[in-house]
Structure formats: structure tokens, C-alpha cells
Amino acid sequence: MSAILLISIMIRLVVFGWAVTMSRRLRDWRPLVLAALFALMAAQQIIALSRAAGDAGQWAITWTQTNHDLPGLIISIAALLTMFILTRMFAPQPAASQPPTQHDSQSQAILNTAVDAMITIDQRGIIESFNPAAQRIFGYTADEVVSQNVSILMPPPDRDAHDRYIADYINTGHAKIIGIGREVKARRRDGSLFPAHLAVSEFTVEGRRRFVGVVRDLTDLKDAQQHRETYEQRLRSLTSQLALTEERQRREIATELHDQIGQHLAMTRIKLGQLLEAGVGTHFETPLDEVRTLIEQSIQTTRSLMFELGSPILYELGLEAAVESLAEDVQTRHQLHTFFADDGQPKPLNDDLRAVLFQSTRELLNNVVKHAHARRIRISVERANQHVRILVADDGRGFDLPDTGLHAARDGGFGLFNINERITHLGGQLQIDTQPGQGARITLTAPLAGAAEPRHGVV
């Protein structure tokens, strides 16, 4: 077979393949015309070669026939050169290097001076840029991480699932963090983990998706929060201990008033009465009556003071009797309809918790009298498993709980805030159910003696 003929056929087939490829790449029909032409020429040569072989009974070409193929070879070579020229023309040319604009310089300066880490990745999760803040926070240099998967900055399980996260977002459009931001755990070069806030945004450059993540190291913030919480907890504990110490001192003063001054005044009144009955000096009768009246007023004032300092009923008869006495006093002094209920179940309480519950109930009743404009108050004391529960409900005007914020009262009173702090410190809970115009239901819950209970707080 003629080598010239074979070369000519191969060149025409190569040009045919190139033309088809260029047509697909450029999405243009014109290269297909060239492909069809060279396909027809190659087919014509192959058919002619087949006929010649059939006539001679073998695949053989004479020198004369070979010479007739020289023009076709020249045409094929010219087509091949044309193919390379057109390929060069159609090939995308690299963009000419442009000097950086002022906008580019500003953008780069922002990236370089940003306090937070800024990391750019493609849609496969491959890091493309890593600013100086990111290098400082993570401990990597830019050369170490660029072209690496961003998952190297994450601990498991996020590290193992990050590529799936990106694929799910691209396929479904459902964002779990993109455009939202959340707190995450990040991994430094030395393997240590730190809390971070991650905000991810998406942008497109030349039709290609890109993502930029802004990472803020929360280590210092978390440490400060932990120190503040520890300080606040210690402050609560100290405040509660001071309040309990004050309550014990008040109780001691009340006991002293009852056992000493109260008893002395009572004995003085009795002796004075005996003198009046004996008729000692009728001209002293009027002054003695006045003295007895003053003594009786002193006894009443002393009892009121003892009750304010620490109800003797609380320690002599228990919490239920003391709360019932509070309800009766409110009804007598303020003409409000009060209803008291006790389930009659035993409610063992230590002295500190009993005093806090009594003071809290008294403060709640004072709040109703001063602020609720109520007509009826219902107070109940009941046992609920290993807890004691005190309910104070009224039909007053209620209040908006978010507006109160559980702050201490402006007049220096006990306040919902202080009630909550003291009850919580002793393992109890303050629950408030109220709306403007619909009254209020406030429940105090505390563990009975011997019942362990974690600290809850307000609900």
C-alpha cells in the first residue's frame, strides 16, 4: 500500500476529528462543514483503494497511482496547517495582566488588616485565600493551607461531613449556615480546639461559585463570660448568706423582745391592774389608768415589731400557721377578701428555707396590696412529692413580665428579683403566670428537708 495514500487518509481523519471537537467546544456549526468535507475525501480514497484491490486481487498501488495522490497529500497537509492556525485563533487567550486598580488595592488592604479570619474556598471546599488574621488565629501560613480542603480547620464530625454539606447546599439550596452564622468549634494547627463564630457568604466570579467564611475567635469572650458567671455565682451566694445571717439576727432580736421586754411589760400591766383593783388611792386612779393604757400600747407595738422582725408563729407553729396569719392580717388591715388553704400534709423544712418562704410570701402579699388593685387573694400551701408549693393568686390588673425583668423594687423592697435569687440559691423555683388585666399567679416551690434539688430559677 502507498505510504503517501495512508498518510493522506490519516491526516484527513485527524482534521475530521478536530473539526467535530471544535464544533462542540465552540457550539458553532461551521467547523462541521470542514469535518464533512474531509470525511467525504477520506471515504472517497478508501473506496478507490478498495476497488483497486478488488481489480488486482491484492492490495497494491503502482507508482503511477501513487503520483496521482500527491495533490491530495498536499491538500491534506495544508488542511492540517489550517487546523493548527484555527486552533490557535479559537483557543481562549489568557487575560492580559492588568495593573491593580485603587479598588483592588483597597480590598486587599481590608483583607490584610481585618481583625477576623477571612477564608475563601471554591465549591469543592478548596481554600483559595487565607488572610493574615486567619494565619494568626489558626497557626497555619497561607502556603500551608491554600489548595487544601478547608476541613483541615475543623474537628470531627464536621471535618468528615463538610464536603457533603457543600454538595447538599449546591444540590438543594438549603442553607444550614450560609448567610446565617453560628457558633462552632474550630481546630488550630497544633490540634487544639477553640470556640468560634462562623459567618459564611456566597458570591460568584466569572460564573464560578465561591464562598467566604469570616471566623471570629471567641476564646477571650468565653473566658470573660465564665469569669463573670463565676463572679455572679459567688456574689449570689454571698448575698444569700448575708440575707440568711440577717434573718437569724432578726429572729434573735424578736426572741429577745418576746422573752424579755414583752414579758416584762406584760408583768407590769398585771401588777398595775392589781393595784387598781385594790383601790390604792382613788386620786391615783386616773393616772394609773393612763399608765396601764400606755403599757398596753407598748405591748402591742412590741408584738408588731416582733412580727416584723420574725414571726414567732413561724417557729412555734410552723410555716402554714404563719402564712395563714399573714392572710388574716391582710384582710383585717386592707379589707381584701383572702382565702387560705392548707392540705394538712407534713412539710418538714429547715429554718433558713422556712424563713425565706415566709418572707417571700409576705413580700408577694405586700405587692398585691400596693400594686395589683385586687379585690380577692387566694393563698395555698401544699405538699407536692418532695417539695412544698405556695401559691399566691389575685384578681388584680396583672403585669407584663418582660417589662418587670425581675429587677429589684425601686422602693428598696424585697422585689421579684430578690425573691428569685434567694429561692434559687436554696434549690427552689419561682414561677410567674400573669398577663395585663388578668391577675397574677405566683408559685414558690422549694425542696423539703432531706430532698436534694438542683437550682432552677425563674420560669
Amino acid at 83: M
pLDDT score at 80: 57
Q: What is the DSSP letter of 308?
A: H
Parse the chain into domains and list their residue ranges.
3-87, 106-217, 223-310, 315-459
For residue 95 the three cell numbers come to: 487575560
- Residue 164: the pLDDT is 81
Distances (CA, A) of 386 to 126, 216, 346, 428, 459: 58, 47, 11, 12, 19
The amino acid present at 450, given as its one-letter code, is G
Q: How far apart are CA 231 and CA 41, in angstroms?
A: 92
Q: Are 378 and 339 in contact (CB under 8 A)?
A: yes
CATH of domain 106-217: 3.30.450.20
In order along its 459 residues, the chain shows pLDDT tens digits of 456 666 666 766 666 666 667 666 555 556 556 556 656 666 665 666 565 555 544 444 443 444 445 565 566 566 556 655 655 555 555 444 556 666 667 777 888 888 899 999 998 889 999 999 999 999 999 999 999 999 999 998 888 888 788 888 888 877 777 777 889 999 999 999 999 999 998 888 888 888 999 999 999 999 999 999 888 888 877 877 787 787 778 777 877 777 778 788 888 888 777 777 776 556 666 777 788 888 888 888 887 777 777 777 887 888 999 999 889 989 988 889 999 999 999 999 888 888 889 989 999 999 999 888 899 999 999 999 899 999 999 999 988 876 545 544 444 345 788 888 888 888 899 999 988 888 999 999 999 987 544 444 444
CATH topology of domain 315-459: Heat Shock Protein 90 (3.30.565)
Q: What is the widest separation between alpha-carbon atoms in the chain?
A: 175
Q: What distance in Å separates the CA atoms of residue 315 and residue 259, rounded to the nearest whole number?
A: 14
Q: pLDDT value at position 453?
A: 47
